[in-house]
């Protein structure tokens, strides 16, 4: 990865400017790459990656964590991707514990597989929240998340 290594990869959705910057960065990362639709068969269940640019995949948070997905799904996705973008990660609370648990599992798998990522979130390092049930595991997840989104983490794009 040439001059792209210094691209910001964690976007706090504070305003339209941050959304514009995220979209601009994604276009820069995928420039010249062909968009394909990838269909994964995971134990008889099908999962579709609609935005797949030669190893770079983009998902909305709801696509991966607001549906009935789990570790096997995330492992299959990680095996296809060398970079992942996740959009609109919420600030968690007790109303979305299941989604937070899926997010924790996703980040654990991406971390183990060393898949760098870019995210947009409704929190930054200073204002994140968690459900009361998952406060402790979420601390590790945030640490891993900030490492995975670091511009210096595994320049594999």
In order of their start, the domains of the chain are 3-148 (3.40.50)
Give the residue ranges of the chain where pLDDT is below 50.
1-5
Q: pLDDT at position 53, please?
A: 97
Q: pLDDT at position 155, please?
A: 57
List Cα–Cα distances, 103 to 58, 94, 133, 155, 157, in angstroms: 15, 14, 14, 23, 23
* The model's pTM: 0.90
Q: pLDDT at position 4, please?
A: 42
Q: pLDDT at position 154, please?
A: 61
Q: pLDDT at position 124, please?
A: 81
Chain centroid to Cα 101, Å, comes to: 14
């Amino acid at each position: 990865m040439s001059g792209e290594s210094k691209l910001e990869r964690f976007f706090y959705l504070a305003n339209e400017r941050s959304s514009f910057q995220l979209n601009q960065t994604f276009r820069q990362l995928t420039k010249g790459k062909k968009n394909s639709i990838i269909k994964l068969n995971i134990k008889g269940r099908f999962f579709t990656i609609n935005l797949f640019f030669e190893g770079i995949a983009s998902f909305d948070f709801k696509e991966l964590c607001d549906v009935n997905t789990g570790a096997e799904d995330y492992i299959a996705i990680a095996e296809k991707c060398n970079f992942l973008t996740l959009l609109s990660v919420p600030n968690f609370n007790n109303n979305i514990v299941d989604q937070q648990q899926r997010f924790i599992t996703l980040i654990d798998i991406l971390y183990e597989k060393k898949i760098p990522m870019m995210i947009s979130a409704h929190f930054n390092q200073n204002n994140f929240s968690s459900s009361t049930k998952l406060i402790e595991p979420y601390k590790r997840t945030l640490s891993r998340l900030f490492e995975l989104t670091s511009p210096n983490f595994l320049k594999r794009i």
